[in-house]
């Protein structure tokens, strides 16, 4: 009898491990390799912290293309390295990541909590497929990771970033 229970437990464990590996392979995000656009000595500086995926990469490229002729220094980093960011060095900060179960990843939540006086610099785009995401005093955009919607989300992010950088109503 004990032998049968051990085999059942082992089988369940193997199935769980297999499911977990499949889930991680299918749904995990790629790592973003940091890069910079324009001269870091420019007066205006914007940080984009993103996860890697076709949609998120496309959105980052589209935002950078929009500002390619502007005198704005951009740095793109992986969202999981937010703990290394000195928010005071940035005029605007865009976070593009996936939320699970309607909640930001722990590192994003902690970053926001650690900088309550700087939330006016933040734009968060969450790919959750829902439009009812709220964080107190934080600008959150939410939607699906549909590559054809990149221009729509680019327009929203650019309008909000322009309000932050230029203190204008677009």
CATH number of the domain encompassing residue 146? 3.40.50.300
- Helix intervals (H) in 96-149: 106-114
CA distance 166 to 32: 28
Mean pLDDT score of the chain: 81
pLDDT band at 138 (very low <50, low <70, confident <90, very high): low
Same domain, yes or no, for 60 and 83? yes
Q: Are residues 47 and 102 in the same domain?
A: yes
Question: Is the domain of 25 the same as that of 79?
Answer: no
Give the structural domain span for 89: 35-166
Please check the confidence at residue 26 and state whether its pLDDT lies above 50: no
Number of domains in the chain: 2
Distance of CA 104 to the CA centre of its chain: 9
If asked whether residues 50 and 81 sit together in one domain, one would say: yes
Residue 136: CB atoms within 10 Å: 7
pLDDT above 60 for 163: yes
Distance between CA atoms of residues 114 and 109, nearest Å: 9
Please indicate, yes or no, whether residues 21 and 98 belong to a single structural domain of this protein.
no
pLDDT given for residue 99 in this prediction: 75
**Average pLDDT for residues 100-107, to the nearest whole number?**
72
pLDDT beyond 80 at 129: no
- Measured at the CA of 60, the angle between CA 57 and CA 66, to 5 degrees, comes to 140
Phi, psi of 103 (to 5 degrees): -130, 140
């Amino acid at each position: 009898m004990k032998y049968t229970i051990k085999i059942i437990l082992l089988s369940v464990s193997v199935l769980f491990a297999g499911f977990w590996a499949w889930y991680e392979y299918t749904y995990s995000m790629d790592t973003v390799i940091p890069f910079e656009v324009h001269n870091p000595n420019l007066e205006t500086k914007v940080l984009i912290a993103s996860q890697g995926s076709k949609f998120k990469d496309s959105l980052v490229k589209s935002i950078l293309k929009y500002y390619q002729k502007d005198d704005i220094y951009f740095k793109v980093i992986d969202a999981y390295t937010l703990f290394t960011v000195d928010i005071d060095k940035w005029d605007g900060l865009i976070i593009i990541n996936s939320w699970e179960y309607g909640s930001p990843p722990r590192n994003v939540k902690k970053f926001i909590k650690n900088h309550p006086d700087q939330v006016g610099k933040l734009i968060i785009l969450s790919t959750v497929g829902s439009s009812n995401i709220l964080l107190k005093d934080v600008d959150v955009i939410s939607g699906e990771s549909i590559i054809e919607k990149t221009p729509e989300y680019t327009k929203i992010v650019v309008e909000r970033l322009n309000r932050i950088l230029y203190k204008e109503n677009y």
